[in-house]
A and B are shown apart, each in its own frame.
Chain A
Amino acid sequence: MSTAPNETPRPGAAGRPRGTAPAGERLADWADGRLGLYSLAKANMRKIFPDHWSFMLGEICLYSFLIIILTGVYLTLFFHPSMNEVEYHGGYVPLQGQMMSEAFSSTLHISFDVRGGLLVRQIHHWGAVVFIAGMFVHMMRVFFSGAFRKPRELNWLFGFLLFVLGMFTGFTGYSLPDDLLSGTGVRFMEGAILSVPIVGTYLSFFLFGGEFPGHEFVARFYTIHILLLPGIMLGLVVAHLILVFYHKHTQFAGPGKTETNVVGMPLLPVYMAKAGGFFFLVFGALAALAAVAQINPIWAIGPYRPDQVSTGAQPDWYMGMAEGLIRAMPGWEINFWGHTLVLGVFIPLVVFGLILVAIAVYPFVEAWIAGDRREHHILDRPRNAATRTAFGVAWLTVYFVMLIGGGNDIVATHFHLSINAVTWFVRIAYFVGPVITFLITKRICLGLQRRDRDKVLHGRETGIIKRLPHGEYIEVHEPLSQEQLHTLTSHKQYTPAEIGPTVDENGVERKVPASEKLRVKLSHAYYGEESQIPKPTVDEYKEIASGHGHH
């Protein structure tokens, strides 16, 4: 520690006896000579990250992803991805002598005969649940704060792909033990594939190697679950992180924070310790969860048989939206020319995709409506983007209505409701719910915008009531500090787009494309008088400040 900072040794520099530099420094020099490490470190070692609690949501996803990979590799050492039927003779007595696939029996082996196997299995499954829940909440943060805007649209897409692939990795993963519950889910998927027009039966036969369930799907899902999807996801995670570093993190508005700077604390040491430590916090929490909270007890469910089922069959929560769509949809079937169009299953399949795609393409749609090509590094407060926030809440409404739909039997039995009534509620709420929540959210946002405006112009309510000489009571308002004034007024407000004159100076009529008309309409919906409260101007502030100067 006695080395002064200005004595940085250079490899090959004369005058320094061998072995005087600390070993770590010599190792770093060695690596730099081969990897160019120092130019990378120069840009990143003291990289600044802004601090906000919501920025840790993405970290939860990253760490749970790493934990899933670690525990998953361990599980592959014991799991047999085979559908060969065997008679069980393992440590779990109630199932002894029962026919089951090797996949199921090896999962029992992991759970009962491998020391610590159950713990790793449960960390793996809990990790997956937390991973996808984390991505969901992380995406909500990014969406409602407008962090998806230029230059981060592609990173939003990478994140979206991770979310979707995460769902399917989860699905293929929980199908692997070949238990009664997951097998029922696979059957559901097979039925959904069969509904695809023209190629459905072929897709199903190719996926399952013949008729359902066949002898192939566990082995094929295994490859998809441990190699194909995680491989793609690993690549996407790396790309996602590289872009986070390259773009530098967004920050909320505040004093000293601009579109051209990033304010926070350096990676080394603060975030190295905080983020590195957070990995252990997440891992520790998952391990403790796996110790006390059982998840997917396949021994209580039993091996899969296509002619058996348990009541209350539910997929993992992230498939609940798809499940809800398929439960709520009326059973429409159209028969014509010897063919069947299974709309009752195919429409939910398509709608499931559309609901997801709607959120994926949103950044591009909003940029188009706003006609905005600037970079954005200061985050929006959700209230200041009322229409976006309302749209996001409407989307969430659809999602959660369908989540209720996916558990309509559970809702019915727990709340003593009629299953028919719950299903009808879901069918109606799917259309009505988002409209209502859109309107309510927008009103709330506008109300909050008005409140901010009042705070800026009239100051903070102090709660102190003063009686004036002529008997009037007033509440004393305290003017905001310059920091607060700046924070509350620094957001940008768009003016709605106009079509402009359709006749030019020579009297020639200009043809306005339909897309432009649509854009102008949407722009008014987003930024018109109905959708944002004009933020206070300096003149308004000064006028009021001078008028109220006496207190």
Chain B
Amino acid sequence: MGNRDMPEGRPRAEQPAGDGVHGAVSVADEENPFADPGLPPHEHRIQDIDERAAKRSERAVAFLFTVSMLATIGFIVAYLLIPDDKSIFVFPLGHLSAMNFALGLTLGVALFCIGAGAVHWARTLMSDVEIADDRHPIEASPDVRAKVHADFRQGAAESGFGRRKLIRNTLLGAMALVPLTGLMLLGGLGPAPGTKLRHTLWAKGKRLVNMNTGQPLRPEDVAVGSLTFAKPDGLAEHDEDFQNEIAKAALMVIRLQPDDIKDKRELDWSHQGIVAYSKICTHVGCPISLYEQQTHHVLCPCHQSTFDLTDGARVIFGPAGHALPQLRIGVDSEGYLQALGDFEEPVGPAFWERG
């Protein structure tokens, strides 16, 4: 009953308020052709003058609300009946989870139709007479302003805050100091960095273990043109601090032709052309994973820093600031590749204390 009364009750309630403004200044101004002519007269919509059109709008709105009800029932049915793992093919989207598709569409329709109905109702059946309302300055009138200032001055004077300087200064001091307690409590958030960023699990005698197979690497396992990822012996995925350790110790092992190596230290730290570099980019720490066989360049997929592995992993393009740290390697008595110490410089992104 509510929405049927709407169109009838509206014009009577609104028109007088509107009439006061409409056309009030609309007489053309001879002096100033640019003068504000005032609000243009209201133009009636078809629903305002044709009751049948209004009825049609009413039916359209009711239809939308009904569709919403049906969609909600559809949602409940879909929730109860569709199996979790059912997949359907929907052109052109491909294979989708049937449940997600059905729930989403029914929910979407249920909600959208409520909105569409309400908006259609507002646009076609509620009054579209424009009303002008006055604005008032945001700032207070001079009287109010003077009163507030006076009140404040009186209050401030009564507190003695300005006069009793000892109280004021000690209060300010106390208020300035007390937040330090909170700052101290934040100290519990983490340990001090210490030298943790300088050390990794690598140490003299640690074998290089293939990341994929879990087997220690022999020189003959590393073929020319292949990129092998390695971790230190003894580090297992189930370890408590595996993520922290691998974030620093991850290693790239590549075999180069010894003649191709341009950097003397790199050659010294290699074994039969096999070189080991930190896999962690010196830019912001992404793992480097793209290797170009022909040029022996490696590329970080995150920010495209490019390093030349034949020349001490020097940066040749991109935002990284320094070369990848190299791990000095050799072969132990059983013929496995081993580290001859930790990295000599910190791996990963640069930081203030790095030096």
Listed in ascending order, the chain A residues whose CB lies under 8 Å from chain B are 1, 47-48, 85, 91, 99, 112-113, 115-116, 118-119, 122-123, 151, 184, 187-188, 190-192, 194-202, 204-214, 216, 246-248, 255-256, 258-266, 269-271, 273-274, 276-292, 304-313, 326-333, 335, 338-342, 344-345, 375, 377, 408-409, 419-420, 423, 456, 482-483, 485-486, 489-490, 538, 541-542, 545
Q: Is the CB of B350 within 8 A of A194?
A: yes
Report if B172 contacts A (CB, 8 A): no
* Known contacts A262-B133, A262-B135, A313-B301; A184/B286 CB under 8 A: yes
* Contact partners of B93 in chain A: CB under 8 A: 292
Given contacts A194-B349, A263-B130, A309-B287, 18 further A-B contacts (CB under 8 A): A113-B84, A122-B100, A187-B284, A207-B190, A213-B243, A262-B132, A270-B128, A277-B114, A277-B118, A281-B116, A286-B108, A292-B96, A310-B301, A331-B283, A335-B355, A375-B138, A486-B36, A538-B32
Q: Is the CB of B104 within 8 A of A211?
A: no
Q: Mark B113-125, 1 if CB is under 8 A from A, else 0.
A: 1111111011100
Q: Is the CB of B100 within 8 A of A340?
A: no
24 sample A-B contacts, Cβ–Cβ < 8 Å, listed by A number: A115-B99, A188-B284, A191-B283, A197-B352, A202-B193, A206-B189, A208-B190, A210-B191, A211-B247, A256-B39, A270-B126, A270-B127, A273-B121, A274-B118, A280-B114, A286-B108, A289-B104, A291-B105, A305-B243, A306-B243, A307-B280, A311-B301, A313-B286, A342-B352
Report if B197 contacts A (CB, 8 A): yes
Q: Is the CB of B319 within 8 A of A307?
A: no
Q: Is the CB of A118 within 8 A of B100?
A: yes
* Contact partners of B322 in chain A: CB under 8 A: 331, 333
Interface residues on B, range: 35 or more
- Find the B residue at minimum CB distance from A308: B287
In whole angstroms, how far apart are the Cα atoms of A432 and B96 in the complex?
45
Q: Is the CB of B85 within 8 A of A188?
A: no
In whole angstroms, how far apart are the Cα atoms of A377 and B132 in the complex?
14
* Contact partners of A489 in chain B: CB under 8 A: 34
Listed in ascending order, the chain B residues whose CB lies under 8 Å from chain A are 1, 5-6, 21, 28-29, 31-40, 79, 84-85, 90, 93, 96-97, 99-105, 107-119, 121-123, 126-135, 137-139, 186-187, 189-193, 196-197, 211, 229, 231, 237-238, 242-244, 246-248, 250, 279-280, 283-287, 289-290, 301-305, 315, 317-322, 348-355
Chain A nearest CB, measured from B148 CB (Å): 18
* Known contacts A263-B132, A265-B130; A327/B303 CB under 8 A: yes
* Contact partners of A123 in chain B: CB under 8 A: 104
Q: Is the CB of B134 within 8 A of A261?
A: yes
Q: Is the CB of A190 within 8 A of B352?
A: no
Q: Is the CB of A306 within 8 A of B246?
A: yes
* Contact partners of A338 in chain B: CB under 8 A: 353, 355
Partner of A307, one of B105, B116, B287: B287
